[in-house]
Amino acid sequence: LNLLEKIDHVGVAVKDLEKALSFYRDFLGLEFKGFEEIEEQKVRVAFFPVGESKIELLETTDPEGPVGKFIEKKGEGVHHISFRVSDIEGKLRLLKEQGVALIDEKPRYGAGGAKIAFIHPRQTGGVLVELCER
Residues of this chain that interact with Zn ion (CB under 5 A) are 11, 82, 130
The DSSP bridge partners found for residue 117 are: 131
Of 26 and 86, the one with the shorter C-beta distance to Zn ion is 86
Alpha helices in the chain (DSSP H): 17-22, 66-74, 88-97
Closer CB to Zn ion, residue 45 or residue 95?
A: 45
Q: How far is the CB of 48 from Zn ion (least distance, A)?
A: 13
Based on CB atoms, which residue is closest to Zn ion, 39 or 97?
39
Work out whether the CA dihedral 58, 64, 66, 70 comes out positive or negative: positive
Q: CB of 45: closest distance to Zn ion in angstroms?
A: 8
Residue type, 112: G
Provide the minimum distance between the beta carbon of 28 and Zn ion in the complex, in angstroms, as a whole number.
19
CA atoms of 34 and 45, how far apart (whole Å) = 8
**Quick one: 59 or 130, whose CB is closer to Zn ion?**
130
- The CA distance from 115 to 65, in Å, is 19
Q: Residue 74 in contact with residue 121, Cβ under 8 Å?
A: no
